[in-house]
Amino acid sequence: MSSSRFGSLLYLISFTLLLQIALGTNPLFHFCSSSGNFTTYGPYEANLNKLTSYLYLTAPPTGFGFGSVGPNQFEANGLALCRGDINSTECQSCIAEAGSAIRSLCPNDKGAIIWYDECQLKYSNIDFFGKIDNQIKFYLLNTQNASDRIYFNGKTKELLRKLAEEASCTPKLYATGELEIAGPMKLYGLVQCTRDLSSIDCKKCIVEAISELPSCCDGKLGGRVVGGSCNVRYEIYPFVA
Ligand SMILES: *[C@@H]1O[C@H](CO)[C@@H](O)[C@H](O)[C@H]1NC(C)=O
Ligand SMILES: *[C@@H]1O[C@H](CO)[C@@H](O)[C@H](O)[C@H]1NC(C)=O
Ligand SMILES: *[C@@H]1O[C@H](CO)[C@@H](O)[C@H](O)[C@H]1NC(C)=O
């Protein structure tokens, strides 16, 4: 997934779709890499199956798991991450769903990634651990506008920057928080990184995601920038447990 061949992909999903997502267990987005196809029933597929089971078993207790299975040319590398507030039961069912969905969406691809509201799953024949994944990113937004765009954007940035600081100082690389703003109303934020990143890279990844908010979510009452290594989200309603 980290090869520059994939190019960057920015994707926009409207609020209408966002509402549909909230009602089902549909993935938010997925991406099949073009790093090659594996042979059905071949050694890569066997390793990928083992990896998926491994992630299904090891990720839920802490909300994160990563690992590699198999020797060199048939090695499958992968990770699974659940949103920081999700319990292990829900985490496991999300990973199970992700693992089966991605295989039917990207049948023979050696690399792929899929995102849900509550978890994400990624695998590749390329060892991508510890590197910020800049190849793929998508945006989600609430199309409603804030009445004072400049003020609202500023407050959003203020909250998310504070959370970036907090997340990078915790082992979970996750933080949520609220901010009272004029209206009066409340802003709710979340930032999270995959835990193969260092604290420094986590912060870098989140700061970069925040810097993309003006291009996706300028003055919008809700927005998310979601990538392979980190994501940021803000809303005017609470969305985590
Ligand atoms: C993988 O398979 C698909 C569908 O058969 C094909 O279009 C694609 O070119 C293949 N990719 C590589 C890297 O061989
Ligand atoms: C996990 O969370 C779900 C949804 O909030 C809840 O229904 C379930 O009881 C929780 N399970 C445990 C073991 O806490
Ligand atoms: C929000 O503002 C944009 C730009 O001014 C406008 O095009 C759009 O229709 C507005 N959206 C809503 C939901 O009012």
Q: How far does the centroid of ligand 2 lie from the alpha carbon of residue 91, in Å?
A: 10
Asked if 178 contacts 187 with a C-beta cutoff of 8 angstroms, the reply is yes
Distance CA 153, CA 224 (A): 13
Nearest ligand 3 atom to the CA of 220 is 1
Residues near ligand 2 with C-beta < 6 Å? Answer: 87, 89-90
Q: How far does the centroid of ligand 2 lie from the alpha carbon of residue 87, in Å?
A: 6
Dihedral angle of Cα 98, 100, 102, 104, to the nearest 10 degrees = -150
**Same domain as 90, residue 165:** no
**Same domain as 157, residue 176:** yes
For residue 215 the two structure tokens come to 């291009």
For residue 237 the two structure tokens come to 């309603």
**Same domain as 178, residue 117:** no
C-alpha 120: how far from chain center:
6
Closest CA to 69 of 85, 84, 53: 53
- Phi-psi category of residue 173: left, alpha or beta, with phi > 0 → left and psi -120 to 50 → alpha: left
29: containing domain: 17-129
**Same domain as 149, residue 47:** no
**183: pLDDT strictly greater than 50:** yes
For residue 86, the SS3 value is coil
Is 1 domain-assigned?
no
For residue range 89-148, list pLDDT tens digits in order: 999 999 999 999 999 999 999 999 999 999 999 999 999 999 999 888 999 999 999 999
Distance CA 163, CA 159 (A): 6
What separation, in Å, do the N-terminal and C-terminal C-alpha atoms of the chain show? 31
Q: CA-based angle 40:46:49, to the nearest 5?
A: 105
**Same domain as 215, residue 148:** yes
For residue range 147-163, list pLDDT tens digits in order: 999 999 999 999 999 99
- 178 CB neighbour count, 10 Å cutoff: 11
- pTM for the whole thing? 0.89
